[in-house]
Structure 1
Amino acid sequence: MTKNFVGNLEIREIEIHDASAVSNIIKILSDETENFPFSSEDYGVDIKRQELFIDHLSKKENCILLGAFDKTSLCGLIYLEGGTKDRTYHCCNLGMGVLKKYWGQSIGTMLIKRTLDYAYNTECIAKIDIQVNSCNERAIGLYKKFGFQVEGKNKRALFINGEFYDYLLMGKIID
């Protein structure tokens, strides 16, 4: 297990015993902004399925799930999930969220930095992809800061509160 402390914040790999905290934060994140592609009502992942997902990520070298903990409370998370086939094993999808009350404290920056460190030190990862709501300027700026580039747009990919939103498709090559 990799741990790292920044001030009072601990960044570490999520473990199976964190499944309840992961489910709870995802439900909160999905409702407090319109940056997630689902609401808490749509989420529908019980603790057992969350444990299986955590276990799945922990067993593959092209995957990682990290959490940012303020004392004992999970306040942010990030994951890379790599492909399962030989031809896509090198390519990972990234997902990330930080609770709104923790915005502006560089937690997203710390999570991405740790995730990219992992990707660069794992010889099997060559590409990271992310889909981001085109209105989420804060996230887009953060990803660009770390060298992600806009590679395309998925128009009208989201329908939230009666309005359509586009996804920006962003990617980063890992050399």
Structure 2
Amino acid sequence: MREYLLKSGQHLLVKLALPVDASRIIEYCQRVGGETDYLSFGASEFDKTIPEEEIILQQYCNAENQLYIYAELDNQIIGLLDVSASHKKRIRHSAEFGLSVRKDFWGIGVGSCLIEYMLDWARSNAHIKKLNLKVISNNESAINLYRKYEFTMEGRITKEFYINDQYYDMISMGYWLE
């Protein structure tokens, strides 16, 4: 667990997600899926059961090159970040992460705290050398956040997202740790 001071003056806790957190994480994901079109899932599309989520969280806990953390404020999960990588030797050095923050907490530094925690973890992890992410092309706030931490654009996939009868491109960004 690590504590951060937000721009709002509030103290944020960043914690490792454990199987016991499964129901709270499901509740969080169901909420954020309906708050924004910037995620890969929408309202009611996060359909994991508690036992399924517990297994997923245990797999993260057991993996040397994976991380699942959440941001907590006043005993509520307000942000999530997960890093997943393969066990295959040729690609286990390269991990992809996903990040989300509850909409009522955008702009106060929650995403930055999660990214800083992840970067510290990745730098101390013998297996991780590269971090990758995918972001919808119209999410300028997220793209600017990733650029702040020196992630660079590596590619663009056209019409990857289909939201509200409109297509959006997907931007691929990466960060080399060495």
Counterpart CA distance in 1 for 2:44 and 2:24 is 17
The match for 1:41 is 44
The match for 1:111 is 114
Shift of 1:12: 1.0
Counterpart of 1:4 (choices 2, 9, 14) is 2
Q: Which residue type is aligned with residue 54 of structure 1?
A: L
Counterpart CA distance in 1 for 2:88 and 2:21 is 28
Aligned length: 173
- SS of the equivalent of 2:44 reads helix
Instruction: Encode CA deviations 1:83-123: one digit per residue, 9 max, x unaligned.
Output: 12111111101001000101111010000000000000001
- SS of the equivalent of 1:32 reads coil
Counterpart CA distance in 1 for 2:4 and 2:127 is 28
- SS of the equivalent of 1:35 reads coil
Shift of 1:58: 0.8
Shift of 1:43: 2.1
The match for 1:53 is 56
CA contact (8 A) 1:4 1:12 kept: yes
Counterpart of 1:13 (choices 11, 16, 25) is 16
- SS of the equivalent of 1:96 reads strand
Shift of 1:6: 2.2
Please identify, of 68-77 and 40-49, the stretch whose mean Cα deviation from structure 2 is larger: 40-49
Shift of 1:25: 1.1
Shift of 1:126: 0.8
Aligned counterparts, 1:72-87, within 5 A: 72-87=75-90
TM-score, normalization: structure 1? 0.95
Aligned counterparts, 1:81-160, within 5 A: 81-160=84-163
Q: Which residue type is aligned with residue 27 of structure 1?
A: Q
Instruction: Encode CA deviations 1:1-22: one digit per residue, 9 max, x unaligned.
Output: xx11224311111111111111
Give the fraction of aligned pairs with identical amino acids, expressed as a percent. 28
Instruction: Encode CA deviations 1:117-138: one digit per residue, 9 max, x unaligned.
Output: 0000001101111000000000
- SS of the equivalent of 1:40 reads coil
- SS of the equivalent of 1:43 reads coil
Counterpart CA distance in 1 for 2:89 and 2:43 is 34
Shift of 1:173: 0.7
CA contact (8 A) 1:10 1:71 kept: no
- SS of the equivalent of 1:42 reads coil
TM-score, normalization: structure 2? 0.94
The runs of 5 or more residues in structure 2 that have no matched partner are 6-10
CA contact (8 A) 2:33 2:45 kept: no
The runs of 5 or more residues in structure 1 that have no matched partner are none
The match for 2:30 is 27
Shift of 1:40: 3.1
